[in-house]
Structure 1
Amino acid sequence: MHNTTFEAPNLSRRSLLKVGLMGSAFLATAGLTATLSGCSASTPKAGFAVLRESDLPFLQALVPVMLAGAVKPAQMPAAVSATIENLDYSLSHLSPEMLKLTVQLFDVLALPITRGPLTGVWGSWQNASAADVRNFLERWQNSPIGLLKMGHASLLQLVMMSWYSRTESWAHCGYPGPPTV
């Protein structure tokens, strides 16, 4: 007769820290590899101050999912475009160190070798469904790896600040706009 009882995994604080450090090292290595291999173009796409051609497919898949419910479907393409423009503007005003970290995050999300295991999106972002993007966001939000949680929070903050700084977003949340002086 086989023993079919399950033993709880012996997860100590030390082993959790080791997993977190290994994950951090993996992400840092992947970002560095993407940068050094030329996978991440360092020049912005024409018309943008910071965003590169390799960043746009991810952002074009991410933004509609994050704005779902706040933007009418007919207005979504214009909202996505405007949000990405504002995001580029915001990124161009970040400190050099914060910009470097954000670019590394975008590199990790664009590089196929890291995108699949970290996000669950194994194909290109252009082929990812809204459900795939939602699953990725949920995966990072609930991850035991702190670095992925920080990545989720950063993406959420960047996109939401870029959208809600636009006047067309104010009506949805009941903001009448700044007072006139």
Structure 2
Amino acid sequence: MKHLPPHLQRRSFLKLGIGAAVVLAVAGGAVALIKPGLVNGRLSPSARLLMARVGQAMLQGTLPADALEQQRAIDAVLQRTDDFTAGLPAHVQAELSQLFGLLATAAGRRGIVGLSPSWEDATVAETSAALQSMRASGTELRIQAYQGLHDIVFVPYFSGEESWKTIGYPGPRAV
């Protein structure tokens, strides 16, 4: 029986895989520490851009048609997101900060979201397609990241009275 050359042996592949995973984890953690996604419990500028683009893509069809009203709705979502994250326990804020920090980088945007253009340059259609790819991914990390982004966009949006009119909800009934 022939032996595989050393560079093609199973053990070499395993070592390479483990080494690559460690390098990516350390690099991702270092990037998140350098550029946190939350500062004092609130979205950093890069996280605000990320969440604005994600919000525009996820909320298609529910946002007002007028561009100015649409921007006001996204700004309201970002403000409610800030209010929400500021009240979270420190360990949850740290995890969100790492997620936002990582997704705000080119490597995180491409590797996890699957979006090539920058958050600033991405169209709503490109962002939406990348998010749907995350949602349908076979990779647990991508699915969990999508679910987190989904919840962080939808809860603040639908908790605001300005969104109720757009979706036809008359508001809570007086008791």
After TM superposition, the structure 1 = structure 2 runs for residues 1-181 of structure 1, keeping only pairs within 5 Å, are 28-36=25-33, 38-40=34-36, 43=39, 49-74=41-66, 75-180=69-174
Q: Structure 1: any 5+ residue segments left out of the alignment? A: 1-18
* SS of the residue 1:54 aligns to: helix
Where does structure 1 differ by over 4 angstroms across 4 or more consecutive aligned residues?
A: 21-28
1:31-61 Cα distance to aligned partner (Å, 9 max, x none)? 312134x2337635xxxx5111121221221
* SS of the residue 1:114 aligns to: helix
- Deviation (angstroms), 1:91: 0.9
- Deviation (angstroms), 1:111: 1.3
Query: Percent of pairs identical after alignment?
Result: 25
Query: TM-score of the superposition, structure 1-length normalised?
Result: 0.75
Cross-structure match for 2:12: none
Query: TM-score of the superposition, structure 2-length normalised?
Result: 0.77
Please tell me the residue identity of whatever aligns with 1:51. Answer: L
Gap change, CA 1:177 and 1:109, over 3 Å in 2: same
* SS of the residue 2:43 aligns to: coil
Distance in 1 between the 2:98 and 2:37 partners? 12
- Deviation (angstroms), 1:139: 1.4
Further displaced range: 114-123 or 150-159 = 114-123
- Equivalent residues of 1:141, 1:152 under 8 A apart: yes
- Deviation (angstroms), 1:22: 9.5
Gap change, CA 1:23 and 1:138, over 3 Å in 2: farther
Cross-structure match for 2:5: none
Q: Structure 2: any 5+ residue segments left out of the alignment? A: 1-16
Gap change, CA 1:150 and 1:77, over 3 Å in 2: same
Gap change, CA 1:62 and 1:23, over 3 Å in 2: farther
